[in-house]
Amino acid sequence: MEYIYRLHAIERMFQRDIDERHIEEVIENGEIIETYVDDKPYPSFLILGYSDNLPLHVVYAKDEEGNVIVITAYRVTKNSTK
């Protein structure tokens, strides 16, 4: 399995001070809270997890080879928006 970061994800990670370690920790240990089965080209998932004891949402998909495609990530706050 390989992690592939979309340009949008990289931009948001930079803006929000989120690094790859945070993303991978959340994907490996978090809980899927929504599934978007109609997303293209692959269904995607919204996952909630914790990194450095802070809640984090990550949206990602998996391709046919099982690679993780990171779409976006954001800190969970009362008024979280993608």
pLDDT reported for residue 77: 80
Residue 29, in any domain of the structure = yes
Q: Where are the alpha helices (DSSP H) in 17-68?
A: 20-29
Residue 82, in any domain of the structure = no
Residue numbers of the chain with a pLDDT score lower than 70: 79-82
pLDDT in tens, 23-41: 999 999 999 999 999 999 9
Q: Where are the alpha helices (DSSP H) in the chain?
A: 7-16, 20-29
Q: Quote the domain boundaries for residue 62.
A: 3-75
What is the pTM assigned to this prediction?
A: 0.89
Residue 34, in any domain of the structure = yes
The CB density around residue 6, as the number of other CB atoms within 10 Å, is 15
- d(Cα 37, Cα 29) in Å, to the nearest integer? 21
pLDDT reported for residue 81: 53
Residue 81, in any domain of the structure = no
Token pair of 81, please? 């928006």
